[in-house]
Amino acid sequence: MAQKQTSHPTACLALADGTLFYGRGFGAEGLTQAELCFNTAMTGYQEIMTDPSYAGQVVTFTFPHIGNTGVNPEDDETADPVAEGMVVKWDPTASSNWRATDELGSWLAKRGRMGMGGVDTRRLTRAIRQQGAPHVAMEYREDGQFDIEALVAKARAFKGLEGLDLAKNVTCAQSYQWDEMRWAWPDGFPKRTEKGHKVVAIDYGAKRNILRCLASAGCDVTVLPASATTEDVLALNPDGVFLSNGPGDPAATGEYAVPMIKGVLDQTDIPVFGICLGHQMLALALGAQTVKMNHGHHGANHPVKDKDTGKVEITSMNHGFTVDSQTLPAGVVETHVSLFDGSNCGIRMADRPVFSVQYHPEASPGPQDSYYLFKRFAEAMKAKATA
């Protein structure tokens, strides 16, 4: 069903500097405070909205055709949307895709998340780039009655993501096994049945497709909560440890995650692989530092150079913090860099199979340039087992 048209705005986005954007709401009525970011991906809006790394953020989509393929359960990266809301140029139209089982607006409404259409997203994106990711308050009311003063005050009251540990809000409540592999025509997601490398995956906000890629690469995956200790991890006698993506300030999550990682590195020589927040956690554990970016990297067209091979990968990214490459200690090598701004996108220990990347090799943004990283992790575990 197409979005119902009204003669007045039914949604308002207030920036902390007092700038206002009006539009038409869809999804669930309500009000939220968040950090505002923009994403340049042309596909994958459902995956983006359900990516736990977007906790605490409203996402502006620069591509105008959002909602036209509907939604379906297979594309969820976690059970429900995690992003606080979405801002789009054009109102979502009726879906036109054979995989769709629901419309974007009704899907959001059922899950308590709001969207806002009819917005000049080019202007909004310029504002984000110029002033950094702003703090915002977003409200959807069918009657269009907004208390603008109060809305701007709420935007200004938002404390931001710096110093905020959000991994604890999106991690699993208890450990579980994962055996689902990557999607394959025509049967969907097959189950892993063969014995494989025992991998403990630490869930800081893990996307389902990352776990599928680990399973497809030959791993028997046990997922542990973000608060897992070194003892919890080593009690499972893993062949390798995976550190997942996730939201928030890495330094805050590092308060409890870094001691666990250091313990694993000190007490074992097993392979360790990290993605996104997991990359930042590993860097902190090795002695580096992280910093907040101006507006972050969010999209599916980010070129990253592999400094070891000289190859360029087209990657999917979603992060607002980055590892400061100037703080990498001796024995830690920078392996990947962004060709957009030169920021760090990968590290490895010089003498051990311990490595991580800032981008998302599981997201397949058109190409599958980065899937080799899962194979590298599996090969490192195999090499250790046969050494």
- Domains of the chain by start residue, with CATH: 11-157 (3.50.30.20), 167-386 (3.40.50.880)
The two tokens of residue 198 are 């025992």
**Would you state the pLDDT for residue 208?**
98
In a 13 Å sphere around the CA of 286, the CA atoms on its Cβ side amount to: 29
Model pTM score: 0.96
Q: Are 335 and 327 in contact (CB under 8 A)?
A: no
pLDDT of residue 2: 46
Is 276 known to be catalytic?
Answer: yes
**Beta strand pairing call for 354-357 and 272-275:** parallel
pLDDT digits (tens, 9 = 90+) for 220-235: 999 999 999 999 999 9
Per annotation, catalytic residue among 135, 279, 298, 360: 360
Q: Is 362 a catalytic residue?
A: yes
Q: Which residues, 6+ apart, have CB-to-CB distance to 93 below 8 Å?
A: 2, 67, 68
- The helix (run of H) or strand (run of E) holding residue 134 is none
Q: What was the pLDDT predicted at 4? A: 55
Query: CB 199: neighbour CB atoms within 10 A?
Result: 28
Catalytic one among 12, 219, 276, 345?
276
Question: Which pLDDT score is estimated for 6?
Answer: 60
Phi, psi of 349 (to 5 degrees): -75, 140
In this predicted structure, what is the pLDDT of residue 5? 58
Low-confidence ranges of the chain (pLDDT < 50): 1-2
Cα 119 to Cα 60: distance, rounded to the nearest angstrom: 10
32-41 CB burial, b ≥16 within 10 A, e <16: bbbbbbbbbb
Q: In the annotation, is 77 catalytic?
A: no
Q: Residue 366 has what pLDDT?
A: 72
Predicted local distance difference test score (pLDDT) of residue 286: 98
